[in-house]
Amino acid sequence: MNDIASKVLNGDPRSVARLITLVENSSPEGSRAMKDIYPHTGGAHVIGITGVMGSGKSTLISELTCEYRKQGLEVGIIAIDPTSPFSGGALLGDRVRMMELATDEGVFIRSMGTRGMLGGLTSAVYDVVEILDASGKDVVIVETVGVGQAEVDVIKIADTTIVILVPGLGDSIQAIKAGIMEIADIYVVNKADKPGVDQTVAEIESLVDISCSNRDRKTPVLTTSAKESKGIVELAQEIKKHKEYLEKSNEFEAQRRKRYEAELIEIIRKRLMNFIFDESTFKGKVELLIDQISKKEVDPYTAADEILGKILK
């Protein structure tokens, strides 16, 4: 086992940060370390939290993290929303709370921006989840803005997915249209101090009644007020209950299998793309073909065939 892998397994935050950078840069050292840490992963409960901008996701995640810390659990947070306070977009009040978390050794926060076209955001997130898991985090929270396809793909790796809505504005209806309701294991109506909360809860509950009729678990709808720290203990309990449900019903294993499938696909995709576009010999050929496509001398489908013919057995 290489040095960085053993340090990550010992929970050293610097090594965790370094390994994340290595895998983000597709370094061979990073891949070797990932192989070493892999047998020690799978212990963390991965929680996906998604909701539109302004739904108070980050404040809720802060509160939830504090609750886990009180329970003696270590927490990893991966923020994919570029407007998230975890990504530096905080208001002053939020920032103070973030600072508290950032200086807590039991919490590791990583903000992830947009990756290059070849790298792929999803692939990097999978790796970071594994690294935080291996480093001994009991809970890994993945925060996404939940609108784009890449974000929905990312959330697929969570064991428990929480969809946050806010009262009014017909968000619930919009969320359903956007397809994010399908992925929810728990609904949270945040900002429960605002008017319209009862109506929003009723709306979601009526939808849950329709959609979950043939499942043995009814998706719960909770209300929270992250700013006033209300409903957070209940949310943590509901998350725990969902994990217990997964384990009892054997869904846990099935869901994890999907996660590993998605991970494998991402690793293969990334390696192939690096192989084609980083290798100096191929890159020249690819550039030449793009020139020819621009001049309409060749079509991209024929160009793709040519490149694939060179690399595939």
265, 278, 279, 284: residue in contact with its own copies (rule CB under 8 A): 265
Alpha-carbon distance of 117 to 132, in angstroms, equals 25
> In degrees to the nearest 10, what's the CA dihedral of 224, 226, 227, 228?
50
Smallest gap from residue 151 Cβ to its own copies (A): 5
Cα of first residue to Cα of last residue in the chain, in angstroms, is 33
Q: Does 118 bind its own copies (CB under 8 A)?
A: yes
Asked if 103 interacts with its own copies (CB under 8 A), we say: no
In one letter, which amino acid is 288? L
Kindly state whether residue 206 participates in binding its own copies, applying the rule CB under 8 A: no
215 binds its own copies (CB under 8 A): no
Q: Does 257 bind its own copies (CB under 8 A)?
A: yes
Q: Which stretch binds its own copies (CB under 8 A): 7-15, 158-166, 194-202, 288-296?
A: 288-296
Q: Taking contact as CB under 8 A, which single stretch among the options 10-18, 63-71, 82-90, 201-209 is the one that binds its own copies? A: 82-90
Note whether 290 binds its own copies by CB under 8 A.
yes
Stretch that binds its own copies, among 27-35, 205-213, 226-234, 238-246 (CB under 8 A): 27-35
> Do the beta carbons of residue 51 and residue 165 sit within 8 Å?
yes
What is the rounded CA–CA span in Å between residue 157 and residue 153?
8
Look up residue 237 and give its amino acid: Q
29 binds its own copies (CB under 8 A): no
Q: Is residue 208 part of the contact set for its own copies (CB under 8 A)? A: no
List 264, 278, 283, 288, residue binding its own copies (CB under 8 A) = 264
User: Residues with Cβ < 8 Å from 277, sequence gap 6 or more?
Assistant: 118, 283, 286
What's the rounded Cα separation, in Å, for the pair 41 and 57? 27
Is 183 a binder of its own copies (CB under 8 A)?
no
Q: Binding of its own copies at residue 269 (CB under 8 A)?
A: yes
Q: Distance (Å, rounded) from C-alpha 84 to C-alpha 121?
A: 16
Residue 53 binds to its own copies (criterion: CB under 8 A):
yes
Under the binding rule (CB under 8 A), the answer on residue 275 touching its own copies is yes
Nearest distance, CB of residue 164 and its own copies, angstroms:
15
Is residue 70 within the footprint of its own copies (CB under 8 A)? Answer: no
Q: Determine the interface stretch with its own copies among 65-73, 213-221, 241-249, 291-299 (rule: CB under 8 A).
A: 291-299
Residue whose structure tokens are 């007020």 = 225
Q: Cα(180)–Cα(306) distance, rounded to whole angstroms?
A: 39
Which of 8, 34, 47, 236 forms a contact with its own copies (CB under 8 A)?
Answer: 34
145 binds its own copies (CB under 8 A): yes
- Rg value, the chain, Cα: 21
Upper half-sphere CA count for residue 281 (Cβ side, 13 Å): 4
Distance (Å, whole) CA 122 – CA 217: 29
Q: Please, which residues bridge with residue 186 across strands?
A: 162
- For its own copies, the closer of residues 149 and 213 by Cβ is 149
Residues 149-168 that bind its own copies (CB under 8 A): 149-153
Instruction: Dig out the tokens for 72 from the structure.
Output: 């003696």
CA–CA separation, 214 and 200 (whole Å): 23
Phi, psi of 189 (to 5 degrees): -95, 105
Q: How many residues does the chain have?
A: 313
The footprint of its own copies (CB under 8 A) covers 31, 34-35, 38-39, 42, 52-53, 82-83, 89, 113-115, 117-118, 121, 145, 147-153, 174, 177-179, 253, 256-257, 260-265, 267-269, 271-273, 275-277, 286, 289-291, 293-294, 296, 299-304, 307-308, 310-313
